């Protein structure tokens, strides 16, 4: 199938049925490369995510002098400790990856050389102040060349010291950037969040020999630590799986088995949302891999009902709001999403993008300052755009599988950022996507 930037998605009249394994978790893949790069020894990473964001992280550390080779989904990182990082001879290109830029800011703030971080137009538009502020409290010299705390960022490495930081937002990227800075600084660093954000950093660091303490929503780490190499098996990405779970729920006659998915409790908000809506999702064969809970999922098409989603649950399902919104459009009754204002500063203003596209497909949607109100009842066909946002594109693709008529979706190239094989899997499971002639 020749892939253009526009795709026609037709209703999946025979349902979505199959047995699938998904690429490695994107967030865990980022951290595995970063920790391996500053550890001593050779680290082997298996089932590495192949998305553009993760490739940006690999390229960033190669620019810093770390030897990294990738064969398929296996990655070998030859770490030489903190001293193995060298002043980059060029600007470090973070591409579209906010995770790469924000976590690298914390890591490079304590290294004894200057570096410059930049990215594409989308990344340049995203706020970096929430990371810059605590790093400056730790002694970092970090400057926004883009103004208004936007990229490009120039970092002059300094000796850092520990702080107590009470974060106004629950953000795994902010927390991880501070912990990476604290890992190499003097004294003790503590990060407190209003609610607990994703904890992949806290779970993975001990595997590399890092020492930290977790108490409720507070993480404490001591400076002056060295890491050692280890072997990492990356579980399947739940955020990627969510699109297929949502499709199986709303396309009649579906039954889908998904193997080896990461079930970290800070990430399973989307499963709880779907189950609260009445979804038939069963977790099978629970196990633990490299400190992360993993399991298989069996999902069947279900009659769903609208619910209210807010508070701590939104924090744990923030990346999955686009697919939740699409699923809500097929539920009975009203779904209210609140506390999701962070979505306005992602790759697009996702709240506005969802309201605009769902309205164009016949939904009754109201846009709130921090969320959406969605009246269920189904979607029609139509022509919509992705706003060059990979999660919006994938969510709208799922909408096309359950709509009453075909959807023509413009701007699908952005999906390669996080899930290069997405449309191949959709085709294999349904045979319902084709390039727009």
CATH of the domain at 354: 3.65.10.10
- For the stretch 205-233, pLDDT in tens is 999 999 999 999 999 999 999 999 999 99
For 145, the domain range is 26-219
pLDDT at 437: 43
3-state secondary structure of 172: helix
Catalytic hit among 93, 319, 389, 416? 319
Residues 209 and 301 reside in one and the same domain? no
The total of structural domains in the chain comes to 2
Determine contact, residues 258/294, Cβ cutoff 8 Å.
Answer: no
Average pLDDT, the chain: 95
30 pLDDT band, cuts 50/70/90, is very high
294 pLDDT band, cuts 50/70/90, is very high
Residues 299 and 204 reside in one and the same domain? no
**End-to-end Cα, the chain, rounded Å:** 12
Structural domain contains residue 355:
yes
Structural domain contains residue 304:
yes
4 pLDDT band, cuts 50/70/90, is low
Residues 120 and 177 reside in one and the same domain? yes
Structural domain contains residue 228:
no
Residue 141 makes CB contacts below 8 A (sequence gap 6+) with 109, 155, 156, 157, 158
Buried b / exposed e across 328-347, counting CB within 10 Å, b at 16+? bbbbeebbbbbbbebbeebb
| Boundary-marking domain end, from 175, 192, 219 | 219
Reply yes or no on whether the pLDDT at 432 is more than 80.
no
Residues 48 and 142 reside in one and the same domain? yes
Residues 270 and 195 reside in one and the same domain? no
Structural domain contains residue 1:
no
- For the stretch 312-364, pLDDT in tens is 999 999 999 999 999 999 999 999 999 999 999 899 999 999 999 999 999 99
Determine contact, residues 331/301, Cβ cutoff 8 Å.
Answer: no
Determine contact, residues 169/194, Cβ cutoff 8 Å.
Answer: yes
| Boundary-marking domain end, from 175, 191, 219 | 219
Buried b / exposed e across 169-199, counting CB within 10 Å, b at 16+? ebbbbbbbbbbbbbbbbbeebbbebeebbbb
Residues 148 and 239 reside in one and the same domain? no
How many residues does this entry show for the chain?
Answer: 437
Residues 185 and 248 reside in one and the same domain? no
Residues 300 and 405 reside in one and the same domain? yes
Residues 19 and 36 reside in one and the same domain? no
In 251-375, which residue ranges form alpha helices assigned H by DSSP? 269-276, 312-315, 321-328, 350-360
Least Cα distance to 301 among 381, 401, 393 occurs for: 401
| Boundary-marking domain end, from 219, 244, 275 | 219
Structural domain contains residue 130:
yes
Determine contact, residues 247/16, Cβ cutoff 8 Å.
Answer: yes
pTM of the predicted protein model: 0.87
Residues 45 and 19 reside in one and the same domain? no
- For the stretch 137-193, pLDDT in tens is 999 999 999 999 999 999 999 999 999 999 998 999 999 999 999 999 999 999 999
pLDDT at 403: 97
Is 319 assigned a catalytic role? yes
3-state secondary structure of 47: coil
């Amino acid at each position: 199938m020749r892939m253009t930037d526009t795709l026609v998605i037709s209703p999946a009249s025979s349902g979505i049925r199959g047995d699938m394994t998904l690429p490695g978790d994107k967030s865990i893949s980022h951290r595995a490369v970063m920790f391996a790069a500053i550890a001593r020894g050779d680290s082997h990473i298996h089932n590495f995510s192949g998305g553009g964001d993760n490739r940006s992280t690999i390229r960033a550390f190669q620019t810093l002098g770390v030897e990294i080779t990738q064969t398929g989904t296996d990655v070998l990182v030859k770490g030489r400790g903190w001293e193995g990082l060298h002043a980059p001879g060029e600007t470090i290109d973070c591409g579209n990856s906010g995770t790469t830029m924000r976590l690298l800011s914390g890591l490079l703030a304590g290294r004894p050389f200057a570096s410059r971080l930049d990215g594409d137009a989308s990344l340049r538009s995203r706020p970096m102040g929430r990371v810059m502020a605590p790093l400056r409290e730790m002694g970092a010299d970090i400057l926004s060349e883009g103004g208004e705390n936007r990229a490009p960022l120039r970092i002059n490495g300094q000796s850092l010291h520990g702080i107590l930081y009470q974060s106004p937002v629950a953000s795994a990227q902010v927390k991880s950037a501070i912990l990476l800075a604290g890992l190499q600084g003097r004294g003790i660093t503590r990060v407190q969040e209003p609610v607990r954000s994703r904890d992949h950093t806290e779970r993975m660091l001990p595997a590399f020999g890092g020492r930290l303490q977790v108490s409720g929503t507070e993480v404490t780490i001591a400076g002056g630590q060295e890491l050692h190499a280890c072997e990492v098996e990356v579980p399947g990405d739940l955020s990627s799986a969510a699109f297929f779970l949502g499709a199986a729920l709303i396309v009649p006659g579906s039954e889908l088995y998904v193997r080896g998915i990461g079930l970290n409790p800070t990430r399973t908000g989307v499963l709880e949302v779907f189950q609260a809506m009445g979804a038939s999702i069963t977790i099978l064969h629970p196990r633990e891999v490299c400190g992360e809970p993993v399991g298989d999922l069996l999902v069947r098409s279900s009659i769903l009902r609208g619910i209210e989603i807010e508070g701590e649950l939104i924090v744990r399902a923030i990346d999955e709001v686009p697919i939740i919104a699409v699923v809500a459009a097929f539920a009975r009754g009203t779904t209210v999403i609140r506390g999701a204002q962070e979505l306005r500063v992602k790759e697009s203003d996702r709240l506005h993008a969802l309201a605009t596209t769902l309205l164009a497909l016949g939904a009754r949607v109201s846009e709130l300052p921090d969320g959406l109100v969605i009246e269920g009842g189904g979607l029609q066909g139509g022509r919509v755009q992705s706003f060059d946002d990979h999660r919006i594109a994938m969510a709208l693709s799922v909408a096309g599988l359950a709509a009453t008529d075909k959807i023509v979706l413009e701007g699908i190239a952005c999906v390669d950022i996080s899930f290069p094989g997405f449309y191949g899997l959709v085709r294999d499971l349904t045979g319902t996507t084709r390039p727009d002639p």
